[in-house]
């Protein structure tokens, strides 16, 4: 499955959720579908999208929060899975796209290519709902179910190690930060 296809299928729901992405391909592919003021592209913060998502979910309990992450980023901050399971924000979906590589920084292989099971780790950490979704249809269904029925949800999707031709985006990092902050202030008031 291509990550871009899964994002395209979930985009109508993402447009209505506070959404944080990790750097690189995930950010660019979501941006290319159509930027929204509720999208924050966490550039230069590898491993921290789930932490930011947790903070947003706890501080905005009436809002659905989605974190779009990569296997390399999750492995860099693996303790985040136990922290998410500990706090169990009922409004958070953490979607991990596992391409078994650090695609955005050169394509180096990650531990998921040699057996590390992120879904299994999330389950053992105590996450309430963990789903494997490796087709566009199952990914769309898992994201829809997570958005509608479950508390904390972690979705792991194996995807091909293919990204966009360029990782450049037209939005300035500071512009994204300020736009997102204004959107969050509007939600909090």
Q: What is the pLDDT of residues 97-109, one digit of tens each?
A: 999 998 877 788 9
Band of pLDDT at residue 131, cut at 50, 70 and 90? very high
Question: What is d(CA 180, CA 38) in angstroms, rounded to the nearest whole number?
Answer: 6
Q: Is the pLDDT of residue 150 over 80?
A: no
What is the structure's pLDDT at 128?
87
What is the rounded CA–CA span in Å between residue 180 and residue 41? 10
Question: Which CATH number does the domain 3-188 belong to among 3.40.50.970, 3.50.50.60, 3.40.50.720, 3.10.520.10?
Answer: 3.40.50.970
Taking the complete model, does pTM exceed 0.85, yes or no? yes
Is the predicted pLDDT of residue 41 greater than 90, yes or no? yes
pLDDT band at 165 (very low <50, low <70, confident <90, very high): confident
């Amino acid at each position: 499955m291509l990550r871009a296809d899964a994002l395209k299928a979930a985009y109508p729901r993402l447009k209505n959720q506070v959404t944080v992405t990790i750097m690189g391909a995930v950010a660019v592919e979501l941006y290319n579908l159509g930027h929204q003021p509720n999208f924050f592209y966490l550039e230069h913060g590898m491993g921290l999208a789930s932490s930011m998502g947790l903070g947003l979910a706890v501080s905005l309990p009436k809002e659905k929060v989605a974190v779009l992450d990569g296997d390399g980023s999750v492995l860099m901050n693996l303790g985040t899975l136990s922290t998410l399971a500990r706090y169990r924000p009922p409004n958070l979906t953490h979607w991990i796209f596992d391409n078994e590589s650090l695609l955005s920084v050169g394509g180096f292989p990650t531990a998921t290519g040699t057996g590390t099971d992120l879904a299994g780790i999330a389950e053992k950490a105590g996450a309430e709902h963990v789903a494997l979704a490796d087709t566009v249809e199952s990914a769309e269904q898992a994201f829809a179910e997570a958005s509608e029925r479950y508390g904390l949800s972690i979705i792991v999707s194996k995807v091909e190690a293919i990204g966009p031709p360029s990782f450049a985006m037209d939005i300035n990092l500071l512009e994204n930060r300020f736009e997102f902050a204004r959107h969050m202030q509007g939600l909090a008031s």
